[in-house]
Homo-oligomer: A and B are copies of this chain.
Amino acid sequence: MPHLPALRTLLPHTTIWDAAELATRDPGFDARNFGASALVRPRDTAEVAALVKFCAEHGISLVPQGGRTGLTGAAATVAGQVICDLGAMNRVEEIDPFARTAIVQAGATLGALQEAAGQHGLDPGIDLAARGSATVGGMVSTNAGGILAFRNGTMRHRVLGLEAVLPDGSVFSDLTCVLKTSAGYDLKHLFIGAEGTLGIVTRVVVRLDPLAGASAAALVGVPDAASAQRIVRHFLGSTAARLSAAEILWRRFADAMQRALNYTPGQLPLDAPCLLVLGLGADSVEAAQSLLEEGLADIWEEAGIIDGLVAASQAQAELIWRLREETEQIERMHHLPPSFDVSVPGGALDEYVTRIEAGLKAIDASYAPYVFGHLADGNLHISINTDGPVSHERHEAIEDVLYAGLTQAGGSFSAEHGVGLEKREAYERHADPVKQALARAVKAMIDPGNMMNPGKVVAL
């Protein structure tokens, strides 16, 4: 890239890698992440702004990257592009234990924020399996969800304020630290979930919640999702219990996970059509276990529970949680098969799963999806049992089965992974046309040169 010497002169103390260097590094979850001609790792907002101005002047497109754990290709790059890597802006700058807020640099990992907040008995209220590498900036840019979203909202609901560098190099500064503000358009929401296409998020104010003193887990066998929902509703209705997880695993997924993890058959009770993993916080482990036991006993008959196990130890709880969380086992088993991430409106989960099972069989009689996810917010993850990726046409046929009518019913074809490159076509086919037109107008207004992560989310 001919601009590298000038860039090195502009930012003499900043880490800059060229394409040759990038080729020797780990690109993260997506092999395309390091296709760019250079990577720049600014150390503060001023350096990000200088980089953005430089790129704007030279017509270079910029792609921001955090932990490179994204699943939709939103951080993929090609030759001629420059990566703005936020990895050096990784500090938790400030925690206010009374206001229950943290000011965090975009490159800090979720794990680092959880640890810093935990020292004050607080927690960011959002959790996901990639916590060790996913960054706060990346989670803001994809509006990450995870296990706790049904209670605490998605990343969008945890952000009180943010700072972002706009495509012209100016700094949008809204480091609001309070929950309540009605002081004009709340424009920070444009940058949340924009996957870096409208600017580069540099700092974030995150809302924190008090940590539960202790927690316990249960594994419950139920006939269907409706039964699991009755159980969840029962726990949510009790003010004494603080439900912290309600994950559902359909039988085929649970069986495959049990084999992949080499669990002894019978080690966990996994014989029901659906398994519900419950997490519950309380002031002590004993209290959490009792609340789970009592709650399940109260709703046992009404929900038609088949069997249930409240973990008696931390080790047993981990055994249950690995069954839900180590989903890369499925990816590995099927060599990166087509995977999907939908939100299905509450009342329709069983009907949806029955419908897609039939629809997928109609495409290919061997198709039998793995279905699991976040029950309490209707967010299902679906992997197909193919051997590796499928053709573009086949992928589209699968999407048609999975996404048909979903937007109209109030659901979403992309629940928590974003649009990136993978869901661009689905976005164009399934998102409301007026919304799409408005999104293009917003993109054209804020980034008229189309320099910020071009080709992702919206096409100009």
- Please report A residues at the B interface, Cβ cutoff 8 Å: 96-101, 121, 142-145, 149-150, 153-154, 156-157, 160-161, 166, 170-187, 189-190, 192-194, 198, 205, 209-210, 212-213, 226, 229, 233, 236-242, 281-283, 287, 343-347, 374, 377-379, 409-419, 423, 427, 430-432, 434-436, 438-439, 441-443, 445-446, 457-458
The residues of B that contact A457 with a CB separation of less than 8 Å are 184-185
Give 16 new A-B contacts, CB below 8 A, not counting A184-B436, A185-B194: A96-B345, A96-B346, A99-B346, A144-B182, A145-B179, A153-B179, A172-B432, A177-B345, A177-B346, A178-B379, A178-B411, A178-B412, A182-B414, A184-B458, A186-B189, A205-B410
Question: Given A178-B377, A242-B239, A434 and B193 touching (CB < 8 A)?
Answer: no
Chain B residues, CB < 8 A from A411: 176-178
Cα distance A145–B182 when bound, in Å? 9
| Contact across chains for B179 and A150 when beta carbons are under 8 A apart | yes
Chain B residues with Cβ below 8 Å from A415 are: 178, 180-182
A172's contact among B149, B190, B435, by CB below 8 Å, is which?
B435
Nearest chain B CB to A233 CB, angstrom units: 7
Cross-chain contact A417 with B237 (CB below 8 angstroms): no
Would you give the shortest CB distance from A179 to chain B, in whole angstroms? 5
**Contact present for B412 and A283 (CB under 8 Å):** no
- Which of chain B's residues have a CB closer than 8 A to the CB of A177? 345-346, 409-411
Contact A180 B379 (CB under 8 A): yes
What number of copies of this chain does the assembly contain? 2
**Contact: B410 with A176, CB < 8 Å?**
yes
Interface of A is mostly: loop
Which residues from chain B contact A431 at a C-beta distance below 8 Å? 183-184
Closest residue of chain B to A344, judged by CB?
A: B178
**Could you jot down 6 A-B contacts, CB within 8 Å?**
A96-B347, A177-B411, A178-B344, A185-B457, A186-B192, A212-B239
* Residue of B with least CB distance to A215: B239
Chain B residues with Cβ below 8 Å from A179 are 145, 149-150, 153-154, 343, 377-378
Asked whether, in the complex, the Cβ of B180 is within 8 Å of the Cβ of A432, the reply is: no
Given contacts A238-B283, A432-B172, A434-B173, contact A414 B98 (CB under 8 A): no
Q: Is the CB of A412 within 8 A of B186?
A: no
Report which of B153, B172, B178, B345 forms a contact with A178, defined as CB distance below 8 A.
B345
Verify A435–B174 contact, CB threshold 8 A: yes
User: What residues of chain B lie closer than 8 Å to A176, measured between beta carbons?
Assistant: 410-412
| CA of A193 to CA of B187, assembled, Å | 10
Chain B residues near A377: list those with CB within 8 A: 178-180
Return A161 CB to nearest CB of chain B, in Å. 7
A209–B173 Cα distance when bound, in Å, is 33
Chain B residues in 8 Å Cβ range of A436: 184
Tell me how far the C-beta of A371 lies from the nearest C-beta in chain B, rounded to whole angstroms. Answer: 16
Closest B residue by C-beta to A178:
B343
